[in-house]
Amino acid sequence: MELRALEQFVAVAEELSVTRAALRLFAAQSTVSAGLRSLERELGTTLFVRTTRSMRLTPAGERALPEARATLAAAGRLRDATAEDDGELRGRVRLGSFAALDVLDLPRLVADFRGRHPLVDLALVASPTGSSGLLDDLRHGRIDVAFSGLRDQDDASLEAVALLSFPFVALVPQGHHLARRKRVRLAELADEPWVDTVAGYGNRVLLDRTMLERSLRRRLVVQLGDLPSVAGFVAAGVGVAVLPDAVPTGDCVRLALADGPPPWEVSLHWRRDQPLGAAARALVDTLVEAAGH
């Protein structure tokens, strides 16, 4: 029984789609489908119920899934144990990271990590829906470790360690009627045109939740796929914004918030049911140390 076939089975079981599993595994769909058929022949049972529109695990597939995960985890531990002989870490680590935002000096940290562990293949992955998408990718096994700005969300399936915390601030253009103020309230900004990140980003989730709690509504005129770009649109006079104080504000006027969302907490997450391998653990330790913990 090949480990690759087990990886393909677990990926399809978690994605419930051969197409998405193939993308996750960087493989052709035909390769994944062939691997599943080979595994089913070897086991003498059908693992999935397939229709033209969907697929789901059979009872045998449900029983096989935790065993396959355990086998893959044991294989990872075996690789880690044998690597101890020469002191070199090996393997692949997929890190989910924020688009265009380095809350840590990630290029330098990655360079240092690669210098110490040159046999580790490190892939950085972003999500078009920010923290929400990264955590979903993590739950489905598409990545191994993820940055997130949604540490406050209760999820018993994930482990988390806090790294950094940033208060929210308001940004308005030069010459705005609130620009001379030192502090504003969300209600004073609610009727303005707004610039923000797209839905799913951790900062957006926290702000939307706070606005809802205060029965405030706003009109979004621009929604962007990365946090650092927001300030440029505010400075150009497109609208106002409320962001974590973690990005350069450029020519914007930066104002304190009297009643803003709770601080934006950046943390690292990984799955409880898939203990980190030695390479992933070394990366987590590097990032936690860089954050000053």
Average of per-residue pLDDT across 133-150: 90
- The CATH architecture one would assign to domain 1-87 is Orthogonal Bundle (1.10)
Residue 44: is its pLDDT beyond 80?
yes
On whether the CB atoms of residues 126 and 157 are closer than 8 A, the answer is no
| Residue type at position 126 | A
Average of per-residue pLDDT across 223-244: 96
Q: Beta strands of 97-215 (E only): which ranges?
A: 120-125, 145-148, 158-166, 168-172, 183-184, 193-197
Residue 259: is its pLDDT beyond 80?
yes
Q: Which residue has the tokens 């705005």?
A: 176
Q: Which two tokens stand for residue 13?
A: 């079981």
* pTM, 2 dp: 0.77
pLDDT number for residue 84: 56
Lowest mean pLDDT among 42-46, 117-121, 189-193, 275-279: 275-279
- If one compares 143 and 168, the residue with the highest pLDDT of the two is 168
Provide the CATH topology of domain 168-262.
D-Maltodextrin-Binding Protein; domain 2 (3.40.190)
| Residue type at position 35 | G
**pLDDT bracket for residue 287 (50, 70, 90):** very high
Residue 61: is its pLDDT beyond 70?
yes
Indicate if 168-262 has the same CATH topology as 88-165+263-293: yes
Running DSSP on this structure, what letter comes out for residue 47? Answer: -
Q: Where are the domains positioned within the chain?
A: 1-87, 88-165+263-293, 168-262
Running DSSP on this structure, what letter comes out for residue 111? Answer: H
**CA–CA separation, 275 vs 20, rounded Å?**
23
The gap from C-alpha 97 to its chain's centroid, in whole angstroms, comes to 6
pLDDT number for residue 74: 82
Q: Which two tokens stand for residue 87?
A: 């002191």
| Average per-residue pLDDT for the chain | 90
Torsion angle, CA of 207/208/209/212, rounded to 10 degrees?
120
Average of per-residue pLDDT across 27-40: 92
Q: What is the pLDDT of residues 150-204, one digit of tens each?
A: 976 667 889 999 999 999 999 999 999 999 999 999 999 999 999 999 999 999 9
Strand-pair category, 253-257 with 168-172: antiparallel
pLDDT number for residue 156: 82
CATH of 88-165+263-293, one of 3.90.245.10, 3.40.980.10, 3.40.190.10, 3.50.50.60: 3.40.190.10
